[in-house]
Structure 1
Amino acid sequence: MQNQKEELGTSTAANDLSTKKCVSCSSKDLRPMTEEAATKLISEVQGWNLVNEEGTLKLNRSWKVKNFTKGLELFKLVADIAEAENHHPDLHLTGWNNVKIDIWTHSVSGLTENDFILASKINTLDMQHLLRRKMKAVSNKAEE
């Protein structure tokens, strides 16, 4: 079971984050975490990248979906979690099957634990039926 969870992008540590609830972003005590703190937490959300866009730390992750409507289905799954947590990512669907999600706490212009909680919850989604299968390399004997 552990290997299956790792393949799906979750781990025991990530499961701990996925059971937490996001705190209100309107709290005056909410501060962006340091890059060092974010670097330590990134390993708990497999598949996500830590990026710095114009001085703002963000999490992002990309998927290739089977088709345009599967991308919209993925957005719906993510939207349900985002609404339940009252923490909303930026969703991008480009080139008909390229999905990208950016997560950061807009109110503090950076990352908070909420962002890692949301990423962890997204990692628990059953989305395999929406994703393109990886193509196996085909050897061309004529080229050898």
Structure 2
Amino acid sequence: MFKKVLIVDDYDVVNEGVLTVLNTKGVINVEKAQYCDDAFLKLKKADLDKEPFDLLITDLSFKEDFHEGEILSGDELVIAVRGYGLKLPIIVYSMEDRLQRVRTLINKYNVNAYVCKGRRSSLELGQAILDIQDKKYFYHHKYKMH
């Protein structure tokens, strides 16, 4: 079971929904970040403190606002995480539906799950969490790798 999870999404309501799904799976140590730079700093600090996260759940798209940063998208966060050498499982939880973008994250950066936000996304997110715990991968039906 995952013990420590980081959720990265710029919308509070999405973070709360993901938190609810995690709680139903028995995960209670959850941190949230609304900016990718903040998330990356949390991941690095946890690693340096020898208290790493077990799972990262991130959106791909983040609305621009007053906050300036270097990591501005979920894609960039995934690349930074893998470039830093963190091997934790990653779930992309996004409305994004550009097939090539998602496949690149899966094939090149070893994303463990892709869940498309939508009508059944809570169920799919829950299944993705269970599959990753069982060392499996989970991809929305549209992105199945053959």
TM-score (norm 1): 0.25
Higher relative contact order (CA 8 A, sep 6+): 1
TM-score (norm 2): 0.25
Larger Rg: 1
